[in-house]
Amino acid sequence: MSVAVIVSPAIMVFLWMLSLSLKNEIDNLAYPPVFIPSPPTLSNFVQVFADNSMGLYFWNSVVVSGLGTLIALLVGIPAGYGIARAQAHKLTVMILIARMTPALSYLIPLFTVFQFFGLNNTLTALVIAHLVITVPIVVYIMAGYFETLPKELEEAALIDGGSVWTTFRYVALPLARPGIVVGTILSFIFSWNNFVFGAVLAGRATRTLPAAVYNVLTFEQLAWGPLAAAALVVTIPVLLLTIVIQKEIVVGLTAGGVKGA
């Protein structure tokens, strides 16, 4: 009983989003509200993809979050390893501070610099800005994961004459795959959910999905069906990814705050 009370608000909002997205506009504005779409229609989804270039924005988001995450993995996995093995824990304090800083405060200097280089409205600028989100989370997750790996195998490889690099590449890295999966997914989700960078740095054609859903749909029309459909298109990939890493999410969301709890 008590479980039903606390779980229902969580699911209701999503069900209402789904309901709005599957109804025609007349039912969406009816009062009292129509809860079950009858018959359900996909026209709202067709409309946002056909008339509002939702496909392009979806692709922009995939490119920005994908490249942002890829670069973060390239620099973040070795960094996590270095921090774990050199016991450079002070560097993780950086993550805490980076997490405390509002995203908007990076945006003002980045916007000014991008303006100077003529990079505003480009996907390049967005990818660079998204590194603010992706790099700290990947470093944090990887440093934590490498800490948990036993050092004995690496010691053995080093004594057998392996260099630090080959030990990392052929011993530690393959073992770190679960950590890499979590780091990749969290980094992708955080980047995907970001709104302000896209809202400020992107132009009409380079907007990421959250920025596009807000700017395009709310300014060009106030129809609820397409808006709900677009909101669902943004959210579904995240919810699917969330299922994959259920248990580790809390580690990512509390990054920098939980150590020593």
Partner 1 sequence: MSAVATARPGFLARRQRSYFLFIVPALLVVGAVIIFPWLFTLWMSAFDWKIGTTPHFVGLDNYAKLAANTRFHEAVGHTLYFTVLAVIFPLVLGTVAALIFHREFPFRGVLRSIFTMPMMATPVAVALVWTMMFHPQQGVLNYLLSLVGLPPSLWVYSPTLVIPSLVLVEIWHWTPLVMLIVLGGLAALPIEPYESARLDGASEWQLFRYITFPLVAPFIVVAAVIRTIDAIKAFDTIYVISQGGPGTASETINLYLYLQAFAFYNVGNASAVVVVFFALILALAMLLLYVRQRTKWT
When asked if residue 48 is in the footprint of partner 1 (CB under 8 A), the reply is: no
Residue 33 sits at φ, ψ, to 5 deg, of: -60, 150
The CB-of-131 to partner 1 minimum distance in angstroms stands at 5
Which of 53/193 has CB closer to partner 1?
193
The CB-of-233 to partner 1 minimum distance in angstroms stands at 9
- For residue 100, how many other CB atoms are within 10 A of its CB? 9
In a 3-state reduction of DSSP, which class is residue 249? Answer: helix
The CB-of-225 to partner 1 minimum distance in angstroms stands at 10
Per-residue contact track with partner 1, 3 to 42, x per CB under 8 A?
A: x--xx-xxx-xx-xx--x-------xxxxxx---------
The CB-of-178 to partner 1 minimum distance in angstroms stands at 19
Residue 178 sits at φ, ψ, to 5 deg, of: -60, -40
DSSP character string of 4-42: HHHHHHHHHHHHHHHHHHTS-HHHHT-SSPP-S-SS---
Which of 62/238 has CB closer to partner 1?
238
- CA–CA separation, 53 vs 240, rounded Å? 23
Selected binder of partner 1 within 66, 111, 173, 221 (CB under 8 A)? 111
Residue 120 sits at φ, ψ, to 5 deg, of: -60, 150
Which of 36/100 has CB closer to partner 1?
100
First to last CA, the chain: 32
Residues 168 to 227 in contact with partner 1, rule: CB under 8 A: 168, 189, 192-193, 195-196, 200, 209-211, 213-214, 218, 224, 227
Q: Are 81 and 138 in contact (CB under 8 A)?
A: no
Residues 51 to 90 in contact with partner 1, rule: CB under 8 A: 71, 74-76, 78-79, 81-83, 85-86, 88
